[in-house]
């Protein structure tokens, strides 16, 4: 509704709706493309963006259930726009929304809540990927990696005792989880800072104030009396001349021919 005061006001769209729309676009468009192309560290990029958007929503809306409501909307849009996304992608979004709602509801410090959200969200993303690989390919995939690494290391280090060979699968899993945790810590520290800046800008732009528009007054230039008399005389003269020509052309056809009609 517009406020009727000494000025006109234009209402600004709810910032949470904008953030939710961007989050849905990120999950549906960007997430769908990354999952379809099977690009590595897809969960890292999508999970980090989800932490950022959830933090922004919590800073701009203190109502309970705001994060869960946005999460449900994002999952709905994701299901419509990119139905080819795997089921674990929806589970990740649901986990991020639920844990985000709980952390920001139970912890007073939003900075600590955002940090924990980034940590647990990216940890869940990395563990979920490892769990999916284990379920799909079985434990044999890690044993195969260890056997292959044992063979390669034995060729270079001239060792055949398997007990002395380091498990490469454990090293790869540790590196993978460490990368996700590092990203989660970074986004957990940076997201509150960005949210504070966005909140300050939003509070300063709740309504765009426009000055009251006054109707324009068209002022016609005043004509002098001499110019008014001459204008009236010229108008009457032209009208009389036209009437005279009409009468002459009606009674004297020869006059009409001489006029060139």
In this structure, the answer to whether residues 16 and 74 fall within a common structural domain is yes
Helix or strand run (H / E) with residue 4: none
Q: Are residues 148 and 190 in the same domain?
A: yes
CB burial of residue 45 (10 Å; 0-12, 13-18, 19+) = middle
Q: Are residues 43 and 164 in the same domain?
A: yes
- Are 197 and 233 part of one and the same domain? no
pLDDT per position as a tens digit, 11-27: 455 778 889 989 988 88
Query: 41 and 151 share a domain?
Result: yes
Number of Cβ atoms within 10 Å of the Cβ of 250: 10
> Cα 128 vs. chain centroid, distance in angstroms?
27
CA separation for the pair 90, 71 (Å, rounded): 10
The pLDDT score that the predictor gives to residue 70 is 93
Whether residue 202 lies inside any domain: the answer is yes
Assigned token pair, 94: 């649901």
* Residue pair 77/24 in contact by the 8 Å Cβ criterion: yes
pLDDT tens digit string along 26-75? Answer: 888 777 677 667 777 888 888 999 999 999 999 988 788 899 999 999 99
| Residue 131 in domain | yes
Contact 194, 52 (CB under 8 A): yes
Reading the block at residue 236, the tokens are 């009457």
Residues 148 and 109 in one domain: yes
If we measure between CA atoms, which residue out of 140, 166, 138 comes closest to residue 152?
A: 166
Give the residue from 73, 175, 83 showing the smallest Cα distance to 129. 175
Q: Quick one: 114 and 45 in the same domain?
A: yes
Judgement on whether residues 94 and 194 belong to the same structural domain of the protein: yes
Name which residue leads in pLDDT, 215 or 78. 78
Residue 32 in any domain: the answer is: yes
- Answer yes or no: do 145 and 240 share one domain: no
Domain presence at residue 157: yes
At CA 30, angle to CA 25 and CA 34, rounded to 5?
155
In a domain, 143, yes or no: yes
Token pair listed for 253? 């056809």
**Environment class of 176 (CB within 10 Å of its CB; exposed 0-12, middle 13-18, buried 19+):** middle
Structure tokens at 36: 């379809």
Domain count, the chain: 2
φ/ψ (deg, to 5) at 221: -65, 140
The greatest distance separating any two alpha carbons of the chain, rounded to the nearest whole angstrom, comes to 134
Write out pLDDT tens, residues 69-123: 999 999 998 888 877 778 888 899 999 999 999 999 999 999 999 999 999 999 9
Residues 107, 168 within the same domain = yes
Residue 99 near residue 161, CB atoms below 8 Å? no
Tell me if 132 is assigned to some domain.
yes
Range of the domain at 236: 225-258
Categorize the per-residue pLDDT at 127 as very low, low, confident or very high, splitting at 50, 70 and 90: very high
Structure confidence by residue, pLDDT tens digits, 227-243: 556 556 566 666 666 66
Q: Residue with structure tokens 């139905």? A: 83
The pLDDT of residue 84 is 77
Element (H, E) at 224: none
Please indicate, yes or no, if residue 120 is contained in any of the structural domains.
yes
Q: Are 60 and 127 in contact (CB under 8 A)?
A: no
- Is 178 in the same domain as 93? yes
Burial label for 29, CB within 10 Å (0-12, 13-18, 19+), is middle
Beta bridge partners of 210: 8
CA distance 71 to 76: 9
């Amino acid at each position: 509704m517009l406020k009727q005061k000494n000025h006109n006001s234009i209402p600004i769209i709810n910032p949470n709706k904008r953030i939710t729309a961007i989050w849905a676009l990120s999950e549906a468009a960007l997430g769908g493309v990354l999952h379809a192309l099977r690009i590595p560290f897809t969960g890292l990029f999508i999970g980090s963006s989800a932490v950022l958007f959830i933090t922004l929503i919590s800073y701009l809306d203190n109502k309970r259930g705001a994060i869960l409501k946005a999460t449900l909307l994002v999952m709905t849009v994701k299901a419509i726009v990119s139905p080819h996304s795997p089921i674990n992608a929806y589970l990740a979004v649901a986990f991020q929304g639920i844990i985000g709602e709980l952390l920001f509801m139970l912890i007073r410090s939003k900075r600590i809540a955002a940090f924990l959200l980034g940590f647990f969200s990216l940890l869940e993303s990395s563990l979920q990927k490892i769990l999916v690989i284990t379920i799909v390919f079985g434990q044999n995939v890690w044993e195969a990696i260890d056997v292959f690494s044992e063979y390669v290391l034995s060729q270079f280090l001239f060792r055949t005792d398997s007990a002395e060979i380091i498990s490469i699968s454990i090293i790869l899993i540790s590196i993978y989880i460490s990368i996700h945790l590092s990203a989660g810590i970074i986004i957990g520290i940076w997201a509150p800072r960005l949210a504070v800046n966005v909140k300050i800008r939003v509070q300063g732009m709740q309504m765009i104030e426009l000055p009251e528009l006054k109707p324009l007054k068209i002022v016609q230039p005043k004509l002098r009396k001499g110019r008014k008399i001459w204008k009236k005389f010229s108008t009457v003269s032209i009208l009389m001349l036209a009437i005279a020509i009409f009468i002459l052309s009606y009674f004297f056809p020869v006059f009409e021919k001489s006029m060139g009609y």
